Structure 1
Amino acid sequence: MKLLKSLLAGFAGAAALNILHESVRRLDPNAPRIDLLGREALAKSMDHFNLDSPSGDNLYLATLAGDMISNSLYYSAIGLGDKKNIYLKGVIAGLTAGLGAINIPDKVGLDDTPVTKTDKTKILTVAWYVIGGLVTAAVFNRLKKT
């Protein structure tokens, strides 16, 4: 039962993160563009394995699905350990993911501009992953009471 609650909470955190990304990127030209980074990563991965990469809307949807799955699994780890300090774990998980999102892409051959364009972009990238971690912690905290 704890695993299911952790997975549900992780999904909620991933959903919050993606809703935030998708909403603000349409309004602010300096908003992080995780979607562009994800598209590039998926296309390069498919090319590496000599597979046809999806294009257009299919590439967008495949990237979004992959992002939801990976972030759900990542955030679900917040609820798997000790229940103490769940919000601190959410913040640490979010900080780790956000800092990774701005520091790792260029080291693995991806264009990091979508998440490092300006200082504001970098701060928002980290902040949004922290929000995803906090949403996960809040949902898990609520679910553990049921």
Structure 2
Amino acid sequence: MAVTVLHETVRRFYPNAPRMDILGMRAIAKGLRYAGQTPPDDDQLHTLSLLGDIVSNGLYYSFSGGGKMALWRGTILGAAAGVGGVVLPGPMGLGVAPSARTKETQALTIGYYLVAGVVAGAVAKWLRKVKV
């Protein structure tokens, strides 16, 4: 949830912010076209993209687990996701502008996912301590 909230908040105020929502919209539309379906309108695609981000990031960052190494695992997962967010969209045919149009956009993309990984690791570690 942290990375999606961060993306959506900063993009409204900062023109060089990464637009991971656009990458999500493109990926959904591309998948639907590949399956012979017509993609929904942009508003619906945006909603689906945000929901997909929350679910997929939640599943991904859950691998940080708990215990002593949770913070490190979360940090490593976040760094890997950030680098992937910059490097992979182009080869996947989703375009590079949303996450890599400037050096600043690239740094923010990596930073967002790194922050999300740290948050995930810290929460996992905390939850393990309180034995929820």
Q: How does 1:83-122 map to 2 (within 5 A)?
A: 83-122=67-106
TM-score calculated relative to the size of structure 2: 0.94
Q: How many residues of Structure 1 are paired with residues of Structure 2 in the alignment?
A: 130
Give the share of equivalent positions with the same residue, in percent. 41
Unaligned runs of 5+ in 1: 1-14
- 8 Å CA contact 2:68–2:125 kept in 1: the answer is no
d(CA) in 2 for partners of 1:75, 1:36: 21
RMSD over aligned CA atoms reads 1.0
d(CA) in 2 for partners of 1:30, 1:102: 14
For the residue of structure 2 that corresponds to 1:145, the secondary structure is: helix
- List, as ranges, runs of 4+ consecutive aligned residues in structure 1 with deviation greater than 3 Å: none
Give 1:26 shift: 0.6
TM-score calculated relative to the size of structure 1: 0.85
Matched, 1:38 2:27: no
Alignment-mate amino acid for residue 119 of structure 1: K
Matched, 1:53 2:18: no
Counterpart for residue 59 of structure 2: 73
Counterpart for residue 135 of structure 1: 119
